[in-house]
Structure formats: C-alpha cells, structure tokens
C-alpha cells in the first residue's frame, strides 16, 4: 500500500474495513507528515494526544464491527470551529488563549461519525481574506510552486490551511467554511475538491460567525467521492441553529453514478470577464466540452445581475460582521488590553479591539458600521439586500427554465505569490471571489473541482453550481467532470 | 459620497476601535476606495423589490419557551480575562 497519509477517505475506509491497516497507523502517518511540514504553516494547533486516543477507540470499534461511516479517518479542522478544550481562535489575536467549553455541531458530528481530529488549521483572520495573509499565525503556504521557482504562493483563503494540508497529504481531508468563496477558491488554488452546500445544510452552531446569512461549512477533500462521504457526515438538522434545515440527508456517495446524460448545464455569459486569462477561458470551454461528451446538454444562459454581486457582498458581509464581532469586547473571553490609569470601560473596548483585530478585520468592521449607521442604512444596506433578491432571482429563473447545474471557472487566476497583492487596494483582493460570491448570496450549493494545470504547472479549478438542496445531483455532475478531466497531478514535495 | 477624516474618526468611535490620529487619512482613503466600489449598486433598478430577509424560503423552527440549559457558571467564566467572585470583572462603570 502507498504511504498511508496519501490515501483518500474512501481508500482508507476500505483498507480499514478489510483489516489492511489501522486507524492508529493512518493517524501516525499523518502526524509524521504534519511534523515534517512546518514550512507550510498549515496546522497551527496540533492535537496528537486527542488524535491517537480517538484512533485507538476507532480501531476498537472497527474490531467489534460497530464502525460508523468515517470511523478511524484522520482529518484537520479549520480554526474557525470551536473544539472543546482545544484553542479555537479564528486566527485572531483577540481570541488568544480561548479554549471553548463546548464543541461545534459539525465537528461533533464528524467525531460521532468516527473521524479523528489531528489539529486546527490556519486561515484568514475571522475568515476575512482570500490569501491566508491576514492570519495571526502568519501565512499558510501553498505546496504547489510555479515550475522550478521557489517563490512561496498563497494557498488561497480563507480556508488556506485546510487546502494546503489536504493538497500536501498532511490529513486525508479537512473542514472549511465558505462565506464568499473560502472553500472553493483555496480548493482551486491547491488542486483539491471543495463543496459549499446549500445555506442551512450544515449547522453553524459553534462556528465563529463572520456573516451569518452567508456562512456555510463544507468539506475539502482529495476527490469528489470523499467530498460526498464527508459532506454527509457534516450535514443535518440542528435545533441549536434556527437556520439549519430539517431535511433528510441523502447518501451522497450512493448518488455518484457518473451518468449525466440529458442534464442541462448552463454557461452564464456574464462570467466571461474582460481581461480573463486565456488559460481560464480555455479550461472553461474544455470543461463544457467534457460534460457535453458525457451526454449533457450545454446551454448559454444569462445571470444579468452578476456584476453587482461583489459590491452587494461588500455591503452585506461587513454589515453582518460588524454586528457579529461586537461580542469581542475583552470581557467574556480572549484578549483584554492593558489599561492606563483612569481608563474606563470605553477605553477598554477601544484598546482591546484595536490590539486584538488585525487590519483587514478592523477595516471590514468599520465599513459595516458605516453602512449600518443612521442616514446610510437605506442607501447601502437596504439597497444591497434588494440587489441580493435580484441576484437570487437570476438563478431561480434559469433553474425554472430547466437548467440542472451551472459551469463557471472557480477563480480568475491561478494561485498568486504571497505578498504580491500587498500594495494592491483592498478591492483588487476582493476580485478573487468574483465567480464564487454569487453562490453565497443566493444560498446555493457550489463545488470546485480541479480540472487542469496552467503553463507554470499550477492547478486550475472549475466550479459547478447546483439547485438548492440538490448536493447529491451536483456532486454527481462534479464526479462526471472529474472523471473526464482526469486531474491526478500532485505538488512535488519541497517542504 | 466621500468620507473625510472626521467621518472616519466617527465610524471608528462607533465601532469601538481605537484609531490613532495619524492613521485617519489612510483609513478615510481606504473607505473611499471600498465605498466607490459599492457605489455601483446605485445603478440597479430596485423599484418594488423586497429586501432579502432570509435566503432559504422556510419558516424558522419554533420551540417551547422553556429553559433548556444552564447551571454552568464555572464554564461560562472559564475564559474570562478577569473573573471575580463568580462574575465578569470590568473597569468601574458608575462613579
């Protein structure tokens, strides 16, 4: 058998059930890979004791024939998820030292399914960023490099540590969260698969909130089958999240037939951006040809409000963030600033938040405060909520016309160099999410699938967008695309 | 709409984030870049459009209004930067 940490969830699951390996062996292989991958800065809190304890318990359950679906499979958890007794700080200084007394619903469900937590993964602070450069832990680094260059590249963000860890085989899979593209963009930048399910599929309880009407958790995995396996374990109704959907969770893996004959795939003309690199354009055309070859019908469609998605997002997300992040006040948890003589409670709030929040987080909280403030609420926030209604209606119209899924590029470029965007204005960085953010605004499921390499040898991804609650059908289309694209490349190990 | 330093200072105050005087011009300029980008929304015809309240068209679950949890003072206080005698402690608020 190949190195245990390089297995997919499905391969490892099958090997465990055949008695060809043990969860302890899988876990030790991953822990060794993590120890050797400090240069990637992907795992920021390691939990080897918890991992080995859970692995031993999983082996006992496998022995006794009482093994749940993900029994014994080692995974990483994004730092945004609260994990009992383990630092959970959303990559922010303001949550330094915070060890939750409770477990997020999603990470609990994964544990209940038998998964083994290896540790917590790097990310952009409070999930605000597209390059993992706003983290208090420092940058996570992409295991991929351009040709023979040694320029460190971004793994994308905000789930950059999760993407780097999965791509570098430090864990079999990882959790991510996606508010504007934070699962799909890093998945595309690192040649892995990532799905953001329909809003309401996964409970948000215990996940540090960024923008509550957009945030969703999802799996980041080595292939589509693994995404189906892990998504099933993460989904389900939770009375502790009032927006969690009380719907049955299907067996997503059983729906992967690869048969997409007769499916209608929409190609939205508004996603053909000015200045889009020829390689991205070609990838997209090739992807459509592959789906057609597999028996799908390709249809040109229009989503007329696409160009307003990013500005809408940059009103709604900061507005919700300014409200959600009001809780970091230095009173109940995390950092509190040292106060000068005579400082009162207002100075405590102001100094604590200035010291605890990084630059990008401060900027978004303040933009959110501004768009919600008296006199601007209607002009900005209410108008953005109306445009959001129109963006969602664009999708409803094409689905009503019989479209089953929509194919788009996942990102406007391949991974860029860490620091390359430092001098760009914030809006330039925001453009990374141009193809993904519409999906969050409309609450739809979206999946990024690796589909090719660019001329410099970096992975590029395609995105499929599905109908609400039809993740199973969406994953099946992604499976057909994966099989046709045949993407098997791995980054050469330099770390 | 252009944001000047005074507005930037006011927003920082509302957000309870201390911003030093010398950082205000750069902050105001960043706000203007972002708001300039957002300004595009003014082009959209939103006449008669309802502002979105919930992205999933479903009625939120209700439950009986009863106590379901509690009695965990130590856990609630476990992460406090300053907890005394079973309470969160803060600087003096009332003279």
Q: Which of A141-155, A269-283, A436-450 has the lowest mean pLDDT?
A: A269-283
- Rounded to 10°, the helix A224-234/A105-112 angle is 110
Report cis status (omega within 30 of 0) of the bond before A370: no
CA B76, chain centre distance (Å) = 22
ipTM: 0.95
Return the exposure string of B33-56: e unless at least 16 CB atoms fall within 10 Å of the residue's CB, then b.
ebbebbeebeebebeebeebeebb
Q: Which residue of A has its CA nearest to B59?
A: A243
Average pLDDT of chain A, as a whole number: 97
Say whether A333 and B79 touch across the interface (CB within 8 A): yes
- Give the pLDDT confidence score for residue A386 in this predicted structure: 98
pLDDT confidence band for A143 (50 / 70 / 90): very high
> Given a cut of 80, is residue A2 above it in pLDDT?
no
Give the residue, A233 or A277, on which the prediction is more confident.
A233
DSSP B67-92: ------HHHHHTT-SSEETTEE--S-
Say whether B16 and A199 touch across the interface (CB within 8 A): no
HSE at residue A58, side-chain half, CA atoms within 13 A, is 33
- Give the pLDDT confidence score for residue B2 in this predicted structure: 78
Preferred mutation among B28, B38, B64, B72 to probe A, highest tally of A CBs within 10 A: B38
Contacts with B72 from chain A: Cβ below 8 Å: 101
Other CB atoms within a 10 A radius of the CB of residue A46 amount to 16
Catalytic residue check, A158: yes
Say whether B44 and A242 touch across the interface (CB within 8 A): no
> Given a cut of 90, is residue A176 above it in pLDDT?
yes
Catalytic one of A131, A158, A162, A244: A158
HSE at residue A442, side-chain half, CA atoms within 13 A, is 28
Q: What is the pLDDT of residues B13-68, one digit of tens each?
A: 999 999 999 999 999 999 999 999 999 999 999 999 999 999 987 777 788 999 98
A466 phi and psi, to 5 degrees?
-115, 175
* Average confidence (pLDDT) over A437-458: 98
Contacts with A426 from chain B: Cβ below 8 Å: 30, 33-34
> Given a cut of 90, is residue A428 above it in pLDDT?
no
* Average confidence (pLDDT) over A432-438: 94
Give the H/E segment covering residue A269: none
Q: Are A476 and A265 in contact (CB under 8 A)?
A: no
Q: How many structural domains compose chain A?
A: 1
Say whether A353 and B12 touch across the interface (CB within 8 A): no
Handedness of CA A107, A333, A120, A42 (dihedral sign): positive
> Given a cut of 80, is residue A1 above it in pLDDT?
no
B66 touches A: beta carbon within 8 Å:
no
Question: How much of chain A exceeds pLDDT 90, in percent?
Answer: 96
Torsion (CA) B83, B84, B89, B93 in degrees, nearest 10: 170
> Given a cut of 70, is residue B70 above it in pLDDT?
yes
> Given a cut of 80, is residue A247 above it in pLDDT?
yes
Return the DSSP state at A153: B
- Give the pLDDT confidence score for residue A427 in this predicted structure: 82
Longest dimension (CA), chain B: 58
> Given a cut of 90, is residue A306 above it in pLDDT?
yes
Say whether A367 and B31 touch across the interface (CB within 8 A): yes
Catalytic one of A104, A135, A162, A182: A182
Cα distances (angstroms) measured from residue A249 to each of A202, A412, A446, A455, A457: 10, 33, 17, 41, 38
For residue A268, what are the domain limits? 1-495
Region of A342 (left: φ > 0; alpha: ψ -120 to 50; beta: rest) is: left
B59 phi and psi, to 5 degrees?
-75, 130
d(CA A290, CA A249): 29
- Give the pLDDT confidence score for residue B1 in this predicted structure: 56
Q: What is the pLDDT of residues A98-118, one digit of tens each?
A: 999 999 999 999 999 999 999
Longest dimension (CA), chain A: 73
Count the helix, strand and coil residues of chain A and give each as a percent rounded to the nearest 5.
Answer: 40, 15, 45
Strand ordering across the sheet containing A116-121: A43-46, A116-121, A74-78, A173-178, A216-221, A193-196, A446-453, A459-466, A405-409, A264-268, A297-301
Contacts with B35 from chain A: Cβ below 8 Å: 367, 370
* A5-8: Cβ within 8 A, 24+ apart: A5/A29, A5/A30, A5/A32, A5/A33, A5/A169, A5/A170, A5/A171, A5/A172, A6/A169, A7/A172, A8/A172, A8/A221, A8/A222, A8/A223, A8/A225, A8/A226
Catalytic residue check, A244: no
d(CA B5, CA B25): 6
Q: Two tokens at B92?
A: 């003096």
- Give the pLDDT confidence score for residue A15 in this predicted structure: 98
A84 touches B: beta carbon within 8 Å:
no
């Amino acid at each position: 058998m190949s190195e245990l940490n390089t297995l997919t969830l499905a391969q490892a699951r099958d090997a465990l059930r055949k008695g060809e390996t043990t969860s302890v062996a899988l876990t030790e292989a991953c822990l060794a890979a993590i120890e050797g991958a400090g240069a990637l800065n992907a795992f920021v809190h390691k939990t080897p004791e918890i991992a080995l304890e859970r692995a031993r318990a999983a082996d006992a359950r496998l022995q006794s024939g009482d093994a749940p679906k993900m029994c014994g499979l080692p995974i990483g958890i994004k730092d945004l998820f609260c994990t009992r007794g383990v630092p959970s700080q959303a990559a922010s200084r303001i949550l330094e030292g915070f060890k939750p007394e409770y477990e997020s619903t999603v990470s609990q469900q994964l544990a209940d399914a038998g998964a083994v937590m290896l540790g917590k993964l790097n990310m952009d602070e409070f999930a605000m960023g597209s390059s993992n450069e706003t983290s208090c832990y420092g940058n996570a680094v992409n295991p991929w490099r351009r040709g023979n260059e040694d320029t460190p590249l971004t793994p994308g963000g905000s789930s950059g540590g999760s993407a780097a860890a999965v791509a570098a085989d430090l864990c079999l899979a990882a959790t991510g969260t996606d508010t504007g593209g934070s699962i799909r963009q890093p998945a595309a930048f690192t040649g892995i698969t990532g799905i953001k399910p329909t809003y309401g599929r996964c409970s948000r309880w215990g996940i540090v909130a960024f923008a509550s009407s957009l945030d969703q958790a999802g799996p980041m995995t080595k292939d589509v089958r693994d995404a189906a396996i892990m998504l099933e374990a993460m989904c389900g109704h939770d009375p502790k999240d009032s927006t969690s959907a009380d719907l049955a969770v299907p067996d997503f893996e059983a729906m992967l037939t690869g048969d997409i004959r007769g499916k209608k795939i929409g190609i939205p003309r508004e996603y053909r951006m000015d200045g889009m690199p020829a390689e991205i354009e070609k990838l997209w055309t090739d992807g459509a040809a592959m789906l057609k070859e597999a028996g799908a019908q390709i249809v040109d469609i229009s989503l007329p409000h696409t160009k307003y998605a990013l500005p809408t997002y940059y009103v709604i997300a900061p507005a919700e963030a300014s409200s959600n992040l009001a809780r970091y006040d230095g009173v109940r948890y995390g950092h509190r600033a040292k106060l000068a003589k005579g400082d009162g409670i207002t100075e405590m709030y102001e100094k604590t938040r200035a010291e605890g929040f990084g630059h990008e987080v401060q900027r978004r909280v303040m933009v959110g405060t501004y768009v919600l403030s008296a006199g601007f609420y209607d002009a900005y926030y209410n108008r953005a909520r109306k445009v959001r209604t129109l963006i969602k209606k664009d999708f409803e119209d094409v689905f009503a016309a019989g479209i089953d899924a929509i194919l788009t590029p996942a990102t406007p470029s391949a991974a860029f160099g860490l620091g390359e965007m430092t001098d760009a204005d914030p809006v330039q960085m925001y453009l990374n999410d141009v193809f993904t953010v519409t999906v969050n605004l409309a609450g739809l499921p979206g999946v990024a699938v690796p589909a090719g390499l660019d001329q410099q040898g970096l992975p590029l991804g395609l995105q499929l967008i599905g109908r609400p609650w039809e993740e199973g059908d969406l994953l099946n289309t992604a499976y057909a695309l994966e099989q046709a694209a045949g993407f098997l490349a791995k980054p050469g190990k330099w770390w | 709409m252009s944001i000047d330093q005074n507005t930037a200072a006011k927003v920082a105050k509302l957000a309870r984030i201390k911003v030093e005087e010398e950082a205000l011009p750069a902050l105001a300029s960043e706000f203007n870049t972002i708001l300039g980008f957002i300004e595009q929304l003014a082009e959209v015809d939103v006449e008669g459009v309802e502002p979105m309240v919930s992205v999933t068209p479903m009625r939120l679950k209700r439950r009986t209004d009863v106590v379901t949890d509690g009695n965990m003072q130590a856990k609630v206080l476990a992460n406090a930067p300053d907890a005394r005698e079973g309470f969160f402690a803060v600087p003096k608020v009332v003279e």
